[in-house]
C-alpha cells in the first residue's frame, strides 16, 4: 500500500498556537525556524491525552511504569534491529537534560568534550553547563557531502578531550552516519578510554530508504562507553510535554543512570510519558506518513529553489525536516537569516549559531505545508542581494 503523506494543519489553525514557533513573531512572518511541526498530533496520542485529562491523570510521573520505555524498545527493534533493555533506561525531561546530567558524571571540571560543527547550537552551552570545555572537530565537507572527521576526533582525544557529544542523525545537515563510520568512531574513543553521549532525537525521522544505526548497536566498545539520548519529541512533535530517555547497554552506564537524583526523573511530564508511549507503540503509521510528507517537501523545496532562487544551494538531507541552506551566493552576509526575516518576513534559524562553519547559511523547517514552502521561496526571491526589497 502506498503511504499517504500527513497533511499540515491550516494556517488559520496554526496561527492560534502559542508555542515558540507561532508565538514569537507577528502574523506577517512565516515561522520556519525552531524545530516544531505544523502537522496535527498523531490520533493515538491525541486520544490518550484527552483520556488522561478526562481522568484527571495529571500527577507526577510514575518511574516504575514501563510503558514509554517498553514502547521505545519495541519501536527500536522494529525500526533498527536494536532491542535495548528497558531496565537500563532512565526517564527525564528532554534530551538536553540527558546530555547535561550524563556529562556531569563523565567529566571533571575543565575537561574537553568534542562536538562536530556545524551542529545543534545548544551543544555549545550544554557542555559548559556540565562543567566541560567545548572542543571542535568540524564535519568534513568535500563540497558535495558531509562526514565525521574521524582523524580530527582522534587528534582531539589524543590532545586531552575526554569524550564525544555525537549528533546522530546530524542537525542541521541531515547526515545519517553509516555503521562503518560509527564502528570506527567507537574504536577511536575506546583507544583513548573516552565516552560518547549520542543525541539520537532525530533518528525516528530518518528518511525512507536510508538506514539509521544506533550508536549503542555498533560494537562492544560503543556499548561499554556510550549512553544514548532518545525521545519522541521531534518525531511526534511533543517537545512541550517534556519526556526523554537515557538509554544504556553497559553496567557502567546503567549505574550512571541509577545514580541520578530522583528529581531528574520527577521533572519529566506525565503527559509526555503518555504521549511517548502512544507515539512509539501506536503511531508508527502516522510517523511513516509524516516522513513521506517531509521527503515530498524536500522535493518541493528543491524545485522551488531551482525555479526562483537558484543561487541558494541545498544538499538533500537524509533525516528529519530541516533544510541546511547555503545562501552565501546571495550576498546577504554571514547571517542571511537576518535579511530573510527583515526583508522577506521569513523566520529561519541563524547559520552562524551552529558554529563558524554556518556563516552564509540558514536552516529552514520543512515540517509544514508545500504552500508555506512556496510562499517562503517567493518572498526570499523578492529580496535583492543588498537586502532591499525589489519593486
What pLDDT is attached to residue 5?
Answer: 85
- Following DSSP, what letter does each residue of 218-249 receive, concatenated? S-HHHHHHEEEEE-STTTTT-GGG--EEEE-S
- Are 195 and 307 members of one domain? no
Q: Kindly state whether residues 288 and 260 are assigned to the same domain.
A: no
Q: Domain range holding 377?
A: 11-40+284-381
Q: What pLDDT shows up at residue 3?
A: 85
- Residue finishing a domain among 243, 264, 282: 282
Given a cut of 80, is residue 387 above it in pLDDT? Answer: no
Same domain as 232, residue 198: yes
- Give the chain's mean pLDDT: 96
In a domain, 15, yes or no: yes
386 falls within a domain: no
pLDDT at residue 291, rounded to an integer: 98
DSSP label at 389?
Answer: B
**Beta-strand relationship, 195-199 and 226-230:** parallel
320 in the same domain as 218: no
Judgement on whether residues 264 and 352 belong to the same structural domain of the protein: no
- Domain for residue 60, yes or no? yes
Let me know whether 257 and 323 are in one domain: no
Q: Is residue 185 part of a domain?
A: yes
User: Do 115 and 169 lie in a common domain?
Assistant: yes
User: What CATH number is given to the structural domain containing 373?
Assistant: 3.90.1150.10
Cell of 366: 520543512
Listed in sequence order, the residues at least 6 apart from 169 whose beta carbon sits closer than 8 Å to its beta carbon are 175, 176, 177, 200, 202, 203, 205, 206, 212, 318, 319, 320
- Asked if residue 137 and residue 78 are part of one domain, the reply reads yes
234 and 373 fall within a common domain: no
Write down the pLDDT at residue 385. Answer: 61
Q: Are residues 144 and 247 both part of a single domain?
A: yes
Average pLDDT for residues 312-341, to the nearest whole number?
A: 98
What does the pLDDT look like over 153-162, one tens digit per residue? 999 999 999 9
pLDDT value of position 258: 96
Q: b/e map of 309-346 (b: 16 or more CB within 10 Å)?
A: beebebbebbbbbbbbbbbbebebeebbbebbbebbbb
For 27-48, give the DSSP string. TTSEE--SS---SPPPHHHHHH
Question: Is the per-residue pLDDT at 391 higher than 50?
Answer: no
Nearest CA to 207 among 285, 295, 286? 295
- The domain boundary residue, chosen from 250, 282, 314: 282
My answer on whether 79 and 217 are in the same domain is yes
Task: Flag whether 227 is in a domain.
Answer: yes
| Per-residue pLDDT tens digits for 178-218 | 999 999 999 999 999 999 999 999 999 999 999 999 999 99
Residue 6 lies in a domain: no
What percent of the chain is modeled with pLDDT above 90? 96
Q: What band does 386 get if pLDDT is binned at 50, 70 and 90?
A: low
CA separation for the pair 131, 140 (Å, rounded)? 27
In a domain, 2, yes or no: no
Q: Global pTM?
A: 0.97
Residue with cell 547550537: 121
Q: For residue range 48-97, list pLDDT tens digits in order.
A: 999 999 999 999 999 999 999 999 999 999 999 999 999 999 999 999 99
Q: What is the CATH number of the domain that holds 119?
A: 3.40.640.10
Residue 379: strand, helix, or coil: helix
Q: How many domains does the chain have?
A: 2
Tell me, yes or no, whether 253 and 318 share the same domain.
no
Q: For residue 327, tell me if it sits in a domain.
A: yes
Please report how the helices 270-282 and 284-308 are oriented relative to each other, as an axis angle in degrees rounded to 10: 90
Last residue of a domain, one of 249, 282, 315: 282
Least confident of 37-41, 143-147, 382-386: 382-386
Amino acid at each position: 500500500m502506498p503511504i499517504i503523506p500527513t497533511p499540515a494543519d491550516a494556517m488559520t489553525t496554526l496561527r492560534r498556537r502559542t508555542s515558540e514557533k507561532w508565538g514569537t513573531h507577528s502574523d506577517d512572518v512565516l515561522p520556519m525556524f525552531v524545530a516544531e511541526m505544523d502537522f496535527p498530533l498523531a490520533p493515538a496520542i491525541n486520544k490518550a491525552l484527552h483520556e488522561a485529562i478526562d481522568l484527571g491523570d495529571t500527577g507526577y510521573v510514575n518511574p516504575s511504569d514501563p510503558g514509554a520505555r517498553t514502547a521505545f524498545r519495541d519501536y527500536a527493534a522494529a525500526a533498527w534491529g536494536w532491542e535495548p533493555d528497558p531496565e537500563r533506561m532512565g526517564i527525564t525531561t528532554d534530551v538536553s537534560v540527558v546530555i547535561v546530567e550524563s556529562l556531569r558524571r563523565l567529566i571533571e571540571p575543565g575537561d574537553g568534550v568534542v562536538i562536530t560543527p556545524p551542529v545543534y547550537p545548544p551543544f555549545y552551552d550544554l557542555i559548559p553547563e556540565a562543567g566541560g570545555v567545548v572542543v571542535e572537530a568540524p564535519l568534513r565537507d568535500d563540497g558535495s557531502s558531509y562526514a565525521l572527521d574521524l582523524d580530527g576526533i582522534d587528534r582531539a582525544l589524543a590532545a586531552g578531550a575526554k569524550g564525544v557529544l555525537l549528533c546522530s542523525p546530524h542537525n542541521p545537515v541531515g547526515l545519517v552516519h553509516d555503521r562503518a563510520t560509527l564502528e570506527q568512531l567507537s574504536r577511536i574513543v575506546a583507544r583513548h578510554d573516552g565516552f560518547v553521549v549520542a543525541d539520537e532525537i532525530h533518528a525516528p525521522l530518518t528518511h525512507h530508504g536510508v538506514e539509521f544505526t544506533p550508536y549503542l548497536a555498533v560494537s562492544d566498545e560503543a556499548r561499554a562507553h556510550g549512553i544514548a539520548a532518545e525521545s519522541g519529541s521531534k518525531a511526534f512533535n511533543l517537545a512541550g510535554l517534556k519526556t526523554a530517555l537515557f538509554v544504556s547497554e553497559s553496567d557502567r552506564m546503567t549505574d550512571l543512570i541509577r545514580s541520578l537524583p530522583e528529581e531528574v526523573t520527577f521533572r519529566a511530564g506525565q503527559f509526555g510519558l503518555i504521549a511517548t508511549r502512544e507515539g512509539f507503540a501506536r503511531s508508527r503509521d502516522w510517523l511513516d506518513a509524516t516522513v513521506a510528507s517531509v521527503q515530498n517537501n524536500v522535493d518541493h523545496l528543491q524545485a522551488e529553489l531551482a525555479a526562483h532562487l537558484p543561487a541558494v544551494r541545498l544538499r538533500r538531507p537524509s533525516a528529519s525536516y530541516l533544510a541546511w541552506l547555503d545562501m552565501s551566493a546571495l550576498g546577504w552576509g554571514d547571517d542571511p537569516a537576518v535579511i530573510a526575516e527583515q526583508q522577506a518576513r521569513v523566520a529561519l534559524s541563524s547559520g552562524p549559531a551552529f558554529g563558524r562553519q554556518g556563516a552564509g547559511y540558514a536552516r529552514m523547517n520543512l515540517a509544514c505545508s508545500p504552500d508555506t514552502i512556496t510562499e517562503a521561496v517567493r518572498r526570499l526571491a523578492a529580496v535583492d542581494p543588498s537586502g532591499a526589497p525589489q519593486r
